[in-house]
Structure 1
């Protein structure tokens, strides 16, 4: 069976997608936070030595993901990640906003091992989970803060081939790296959210009392052929995380 990485080898990733990935990473790291102006198209063309068409296509992708907003006469601005009441509030209306939660926080992943998907994760899924998975664990904190706001276990399927070994575990969001390294295109994301009591292991990592409420968020990432290539399971302390959702009402 051909892996995603093998399928992608004959195809060169378009420059605008590479650029979108680079700009996305910069946004995730907060490089345009604190009132700093997002670069103009002219500045980006000069910095990355690409055409204005390439810049506009990259920005169009980031705008579709909800990461930036472009207005004629006002330039480009980064959509803010709201923080209220001491808890992290994650907006949710599209795939791009799933990644915004990295903004303003830091995480470093460590390799946990390879093998079958853990049974406690597999039982939560309606999809087949056969094959080998590579597992990473990361503890996320607000920059400068000590108490964790999340612990995330990320699992990558063998379909991704050698791309998993090329991940930079200290560079934050793993998903955006895989998108570029493996040339995989996301088809859909499913998400299940459930409040559960923290077991002893999770309580220790999150620095909370055992059995205290935590929010478990399980996400499955599918490629355009409907195959799961990544699963993430995040646990958040109940008083340090909240979802903010907006729904556009059709006329």
Structure 2
């Protein structure tokens, strides 16, 4: 088995276990089968099983206790980017992503301007997110080439590729700026998202930033029926300053 196949295998196994928790096969507090039994069940190596469990532990879905085993903490969730760069949980099944090739290129003048640079090299990744075989999001991720580092195409199959990126590169990400607008589907987007030309889409643009740079730009398109927004206003009574936040949930 090649290195890339091994990497893809642990993501696949993580998804299968995640789906098993979501379906009720594994309930909160249950103990997962041993690593040896998981190896036999999925016909993979112990290293692959351990990597899959590490991902689930990072997502706070399981707790691994040395000498005792791995236990379910909570149901898996679909994590979608939201206002102020937070994430919210949906009780529905997780998204499964299909990812295209990583493509290095010179940014157009418009995209370079959005990175607040006169010119730059970027790496573009396009991916489609499916839930129960229904396409619910199409994304174009563009990262400044100098910050891509060890990221590989299969890393974008993960729900939270941004956390993976931070772990690999030790990136000093300070905040994520987000813009949300409604747009009509172009001919190209209508074909990708399988909607009619002119159908309403939700366009989300995120700019992942450090103190000094815009590191990445993410453009996401959602068909109108796949998104719900919940807005909550919080009031800081101690300081007397209202603070509001909005939450986006794929539905």
1:189 and 2:176 correspond: yes
TM-score by length of 2: 0.60
1:167–1:174 contact (8 Å) kept in structure 2: no
1:111–1:137 contact (8 Å) kept in structure 2: yes
Q: Is the radius of gyration larger for structure 1 or structure 2? A: 2
Within a 5 Å distance, the mapping from 1:114-153 to structure 2 comes to: 114-119=104-109, 121-122=111-112, 125=114, 127-128=116-117, 130-145=119-134, 148-153=135-140
C-alpha change, 1:233 and 1:127, in structure 2 (3 Å) is: same
1:140–1:149 contact (8 Å) kept in structure 2: yes
**26, 33, 44: which is aligned to 2:22?**
33
CA distance in 2, matches of 1:234, 1:98: 17
Instruction: Please say which of residues 189-198 and 135-144 is displaced more in the overlay.
Output: 135-144
SS in 1 for 2:221: strand
1:214–1:236 contact (8 Å) kept in structure 2: yes
Equivalent residue, structure 1, for 2:99: 109
SS in 1 for 2:202: strand
2:76–2:94 contact (8 Å) kept in structure 1: no
Greater RCO structure (CA 8 Å; 6+ sep): 1
Equivalent residue, structure 2, for 1:175: 162
Aligned residues: 194
CA distance in 2, matches of 1:118, 1:29: 39
Equivalent residue, structure 1, for 2:241: none
Q: CA deviation at 1:238?
A: 1.3
For the aligned residues, what is the CA RMSD? Answer: 4.1
Q: CA deviation at 1:127?
A: 3.2
C-alpha change, 1:31 and 1:121, in structure 2 (3 Å) is: farther
Listed as ranges, the gaps of 5+ residues in structure 1 are 1-21, 48-58, 69-74, 83-89
2:112–2:120 contact (8 Å) kept in structure 1: no
2:136–2:223 contact (8 Å) kept in structure 1: yes
1:241 and 2:251 correspond: no
1:97 and 2:87 correspond: yes
Within a 5 Å distance, the mapping from 1:41-52 to structure 2 comes to: none
Q: CA deviation at 1:230?
A: 1.4
CA distance in 2, matches of 1:95, 1:192: 11
1:91–1:244 contact (8 Å) kept in structure 2: no
2:78–2:159 contact (8 Å) kept in structure 1: no
Q: CA deviation at 1:142?
A: 0.5
1:201 and 2:188 correspond: yes
C-alpha change, 1:79 and 1:140, in structure 2 (3 Å) is: closer
CA distance in 1, matches of 2:221, 2:170: 28
1:62–1:96 contact (8 Å) kept in structure 2: no
